[in-house]
Structure 1
């Protein structure tokens, strides 16, 4: 059987990694995956063990130090790095300027998470000026 067939067309596989539940009792993971490859991906993402973020950041005292966040597995660490250590991001959503013209927002955020939270402000409903465009403005 070819390598591709054995990885992707091997039939269902069940994860038999032993883990401790929230109740403190040890049991098998039991996740059912569609192929050998998806089982390997599941194990890599979910059973890789604790990982510590080693990205160097500037502390509140101005000194550089490692982030040090402890994550339960590699997948959580990857998400943490993507959200919190992605570098400066600039909002490019179009807004109406004071001159009435569309222009990019331009707010600079320290990371992707802050930018995502900032973009929520653009989704809030704006009050409608009922006289706008009717020629009734003084």
Structure 2
């Protein structure tokens, strides 16, 4: 293989590698988007309250439909292989759920509390029988 061809392959590989997001970056992008969608739902709730309208699931779903997130706005689902994929449907359902929950509750999405997570679950002493 010529040096020229090897050089071209290396450059193309680097270019393609630089464009791809890591799984962690994709996850962070989707989490940030869900926070934005939830905030949109909270904003719509405020609009309903200003109008004196009752906050209901049906009203929040209407707000979601009126907001009409375009395909370019919604980040890809993990391993998205097209609009008909099951993962894509699940992801779009999560987007809608975030909006509606924000609208119904007026609260941001709950986040795990890292300080409350224990990496090791203690095993009680004396609970394991030795079988002797």
**TM surpasses 0.5:** no
Structure number having the greater strand percentage: 1
Higher RCO (Cα < 8 Å, 6 or more apart): 2
| TM-score, length-scaled by structure 2 | 0.22
Q: Specify the structure having the higher radius of gyration (Cα).
A: 1
For normalisation by structure 1, the TM-score amounts to 0.21
Structure with more helix by fraction: 2
